[in-house]
Structure 1
Amino acid sequence: MSSELLDALLMLEKEKGISKDILLDAIEAALISAYKRNFNQAQNVRVDVNPELGTMRVFARKDVVDDVFDPRLEISVEQAKSINPNYQAGDVLELEVTPKDFGRIAAQTAKQVVTQRVREAERGVIYSEFIDREEDIMTGIVQRQDARFIYVNLGKIEALLPAAEQMPNESYKPHDRIKVFITKVEKTTKGPQIFVSRTHPGLLKRLFELEVPEIYDGTVEIKSVAREAGDRSKISVYSENEDLDPVGSCVGPKGQRVQAIVNELKGEKIDIVKWSKDPVEFVANALSPSQVEEVRVNEEEKATVVIVPDNQLSLAIGKRGQNARLAAKLTGWKIDIKSHSDAEKLGLFNNQPLFNDKEDFEDDELSTEEID
């Protein structure tokens, strides 16, 4: 140990973000281990490190007792009083036992232990930083790829992008810059492990927060998100300010805001609809871009029958049922879509009951369940 110890600790604290106190604790633990191993001592000891002076001292700690059974750990009351008359049974006495050549041996022996503690402390700092970033968005750089993961450099650590969380319409090349959604931060024996996603609905929500100031400041609220990553998404928005158009705020001037998000998601189509607490209005909005004639609601079943013009039926259902499926996910309501002609045949315009029975709805060829 030298007088430069303090400077070294302060440098590590500044460069690595590790507390000086953590490093001192690591050094003291390493020196205790070195002392016991190199000097064949099994006694209880304490090491005092003074970084300002660059000094270290080893103290043997012994319990003051009436009857001594282990002289390495205990000292009699009489012996203790000969050192200091104020000692009594139950006290702990400390005697300095620093060997002359301890500094050299300690420096050699403690290096590996200190390095390990520094590494653990660094991992702890990284974990603390990223655990607060769960469900947040970050920009990373693609590093490499194997059969299971794409490895994305987030600055201090490589995150794992599993195959199931990769967008089907994207290819990832080394050095590509991509935005990812942090889904999980785990503490492992090898350090923190960060899992990220490009398909999570939360990524879409965070992208809108970045691009739309009204969402970031809370003027416009994202109520729900439904997403089929790489293909199409729906997002519902709401504002308590009646003079503000929440959909227009998200679209932006000449569509610039939503287009920036579409570009980030490599062409994924995004429908922005206005949220409403009225399920009739909300379900009708959610089926955008199709037109809706009427929405009938069954509160008990949390189900709806939606009547659309004949020429809008395929648009309302969407390719492979996608539009109806996303609308159902967005609203949380089952959606059964009928064309105007079918509704007339079923007598829905003559006060026909909404559902003859639960089975009719579940077996209908256009029900949300079968669309899925």
Structure 2
Amino acid sequence: MEIDIKELIIVLKSLAEEKNIGEDLIHGIIEQALAAAWRRDHGERDQNVRATLNLRHGSVDIYVIYDVVEEVEDPAIQISLADAKEKRADAEVGQTVEEHHNITNLGRVAAQTAKQVILQRLRETEKEIILAEYENKIGTIMSATITRVDPKLVRCEIGRVRGIMPASEQIPGEDYRVGERVRVLLKEIDREGREPQLILNRGNTDFLRLLFEKEVPEMESGAVVIKDIAREPGVRSKVAVTSSVPNVDPVGTLIGGRGTRVQAVNNEVGEAEKIDIITWDDDPQKYIASALSSNDIISVTIAVEATEETAGQAKVIVPKDQLSVAIGRAGQNVRLAGKLTGYDIDIVDDAAVAPKVTGHKLQRKEQLEESLLKAVEETQSEEEAPAE
């Protein structure tokens, strides 16, 4: 197999269009390949070779670069001063000189080498371009087309790039169909392997936050801010919001008129996922009460303050008939409230603490009755005693 340089130039232009890579970039890739091919066919492994592709004449200029030295130790990369001056009269020790070769085609071995180098460099260049294109899109919502659904993996395409959504990044119980377009969060880029691969997500808190940002323009202006999100995807989420603007109701703003905004988010994550919008507060007692989504909180006691490194501890008392509601099915409500606020929350009903109070009151009553009885007995004794 031989490569005709003029045919190679035609291939160059075709590749630039097909791969959507700049012609100059592909030009450079082919020159690197031709230098490697010439080294393989005519030179030596360690030689410093560069190639210049002449598009107008359909030829390649090869330049072998030598270091000018007083005493040659490696003739593949070095040249004596005397020999260097034959190539360039003003050559001096410490400089380099170039030996020129002109070729219009490559032999079979060199052609095969050139082909391998071109394909490898094209893959690397495509990878670099894709990484640069999507690097700045990490953490944003994109539209993906599902191409394959496996038990533990959903494969997608976004433009020219392949993406995967592992089970851990999905919304549990959600059905995916080949050809379906879904909104996903670009979580990260997997740089390993022959091709870069996008890691996509629909189940984390960032995805939920970004969905609200698209529905609530007040978030873009900063009038309303989501402070915290706790989420069990596909089941329930709690979103804590606040506002620094007077007369702005952050909860109502996120919910929207007739619930349209929160409903739009629910349509995306699935109706099965209940979304609680609650008011954030820098007072942990008020925040915990709000996070539990209950109007029947009797008291909240902070036992240990939360820090950035460790969770705090809080005790909440609710009416007995509200205990199961406050805890939630399988502890879900209190668990999400804890994640949201940063506190381990212990919920008890008022009946559980009442016996202690009642017992204390009964004890005091008994003491009082005993004291009164003793006083009466003493009075009676004094009255019955004979006068002296």
Category of TM-score, reference length = shorter chain: 0.7 to 0.9
- Say if 2:150 is the partner of 1:146: yes
Q: Which of 24, 28, 34 is the equivalent residue of 1:25?
A: 28
- Say if 2:305 is the partner of 1:295: no
Distance in 2 separating the partners of 1:256 and 1:54: 65
- 1:108-257 aligned at under 5 Å gives the runs 110-257=114-261
- Say if 2:345 is the partner of 1:322: no
Identify the range of structure 1 (15-24 vs 157-166) with the bigger mean alpha-carbon deviation. 15-24
- Say if 2:97 is the partner of 1:93: yes
8 Å contact 2:256–2:262 — kept in the other structure?
A: yes
RMSD of equivalent CA atoms? 2.9
TM superposition score normalised by structure 2: 0.80
Change (3 A) 1:173 1:71: closer
Distance in 2 separating the partners of 1:101 and 1:159: 41
Distance in 1 separating the partners of 2:329 and 2:157: 37
Q: Which amino acid in the other structure matches residue 290 of structure 2?
A: N
Deviation at residue 74 of structure 1 after TM alignment: 2.8
Distance in 1 separating the partners of 2:75 and 2:292: 84
8 Å contact 1:297–1:304 — kept in the other structure?
A: yes
Q: Which amino acid in the other structure matches residue 288 of structure 2?
A: V
Gaps of 5+ in 2: 307-311, 361-388
Distance in 2 separating the partners of 1:149 and 1:280: 42
TM superposition score normalised by structure 1: 0.83
Q: Which amino acid in the other structure matches residue 98 of structure 2?
A: E
| Residues matched between the structures, number | 348
Distance in 1 separating the partners of 2:10 and 2:295: 70
Change (3 A) 1:290 1:68: same
Q: Which amino acid in the other structure matches residue 286 of structure 1?
A: A
Identify the range of structure 1 (96-105 vs 63-72) with the bigger mean alpha-carbon deviation. 96-105
8 Å contact 2:59–2:103 — kept in the other structure?
A: no
Q: Which amino acid in the other structure matches residue 298 of structure 2?
A: E
Aligned to 1:336: 346
For residue 80 of structure 1, give the secondary structure of its aligned residue in structure 2. helix
8 Å contact 2:84–2:91 — kept in the other structure?
A: yes
For residue 67 of structure 1, give the secondary structure of its aligned residue in structure 2. coil
Distance in 2 separating the partners of 1:100 and 1:296: 86
For residue 144 of structure 1, give the secondary structure of its aligned residue in structure 2. strand
Distance in 1 separating the partners of 2:230 and 2:356: 31
> Which protein is bigger by CA-based radius of gyration?
2
Distance in 2 separating the partners of 1:6 and 1:343: 87
For residue 191 of structure 2, give the secondary structure of its aligned residue in structure 1. strand
Deviation at residue 329 of structure 1 after TM alignment: 0.7
Identify the range of structure 1 (29-38 vs 98-107) with the bigger mean alpha-carbon deviation. 98-107
Deviation at residue 84 of structure 1 after TM alignment: 3.2
Identify the range of structure 1 (27-36 vs 266-275) with the bigger mean alpha-carbon deviation. 27-36
For residue 39 of structure 2, give the secondary structure of its aligned residue in structure 1. helix
For residue 196 of structure 2, give the secondary structure of its aligned residue in structure 1. strand
8 Å contact 2:12–2:26 — kept in the other structure?
A: no
Change (3 A) 1:338 1:101: closer
Change (3 A) 1:63 1:299: same
Residues 142-166 of structure 1, C-alpha deviation per residue, up to 9 Å, x if partnerless?
2112233111222222221222333
- Say if 2:42 is the partner of 1:39: yes
Change (3 A) 1:4 1:189: closer
Identify the range of structure 1 (296-305 vs 244-253) with the bigger mean alpha-carbon deviation. 296-305
Identify the range of structure 1 (50-59 vs 211-220) with the bigger mean alpha-carbon deviation. 50-59
Distance in 1 separating the partners of 2:196 and 2:74: 44
Aligned to 1:279: 284
Residues 85-104 of structure 1, C-alpha deviation per residue, up to 9 Å, x if partnerless?
32111110112122454499
Q: Which amino acid in the other structure matches residue 344 of structure 2?
A: K
Aligned to 1:354: none
For residue 175 of structure 1, give the secondary structure of its aligned residue in structure 2. coil
- 1:40-55 aligned at under 5 Å gives the runs 41-42=44-45, 43-51=47-55, 55=59
Deviation at residue 264 of structure 1 after TM alignment: 0.9
Identify the range of structure 1 (246-255 vs 175-184) with the bigger mean alpha-carbon deviation. 175-184
Change (3 A) 1:331 1:284: same
Deviation at residue 253 of structure 1 after TM alignment: 1.4
Deviation at residue 220 of structure 1 after TM alignment: 1.5
Q: Which of 267, 270, 286 is the equivalent residue of 1:266?
A: 270
Give percent identity, aligned residues only. 38
8 Å contact 1:3–1:51 — kept in the other structure?
A: no
Q: Which of 309, 318, 327 is the equivalent residue of 1:308?
A: 318
Aligned to 2:70: 66
